[in-house]
Amino acid sequence: MTEPCVFCAIVAGEAPASTIYRDDAVMAFMDIRPVNAGHVLVTPLKHEMSVLSLDDDTASHMFTVGRRVAAALKDAGVRLEGFNLFLANGTVAGQTVFHAHLHVLPRFTGDGLGFTRNANVRMPPQSELDETAERIRRAGGWE
């Protein structure tokens, strides 16, 4: 049996959410455990675990609505000097709700959030970057 999806329940109006925006493809609502005040989630109405399973229009629309929410946050009095648009796809990337969603994260100096780079970050030789780029071009059908 598949686990019930909390975001599907929100979309269906069966679970409560503090909704900001809704159209025929996506909705935006407040994160129940905000990492900073004003933390918003934008999610497609359709259940897909991976953003890669969404059609292009819906996936791009998530970004469009995320931008609009970010633009509204400051006027709404949210403490914000910048923001992150963040999407975790897959457990290893930090996804914990398996219904694709985009985080809109207000950021301010000293908020204690941030990505940390792993210890083995290095600058690879150009040839290695070229070789990787070529493989991705081929896989994407862009050559």
Q: Are 95 and 89 in contact (CB under 8 A)?
A: yes
R_g (Cα) of the chain, nearest Å: 18
Tokens in use for 92?
A: 């290893």
99 binds, among Zn ion, ligand 5GP, none (CB under 5 to 8 A by kind): Zn ion
Using CB atoms within 10 A of its CB, is residue 66 exposed (0-12), middle (13-18) or buried (19+)?
buried
Asked if 113 interacts with ligand 5GP (CB under 6 A), we say no
The beta strand positions in 87-127, using DSSP E, are 102-107
What's the closest the beta carbon of residue 33 comes to ligand 5GP, in angstroms? 4
What's the closest the beta carbon of residue 61 comes to ligand 5GP, in angstroms? 18
What's the closest the beta carbon of residue 103 comes to ligand 5GP, in angstroms? 6
**Binding piece for ligand 5GP, criterion CB under 6 A, among 49-57, 90-98, 112-120, 124-132:** 90-98
In this structure, the number of other CB atoms found within 10 A of the CB of residue 104 comes to 26
Q: Which residues bind ligand 5GP (CB under 6 A)?
A: 6, 17, 29-33, 41, 88, 94-97
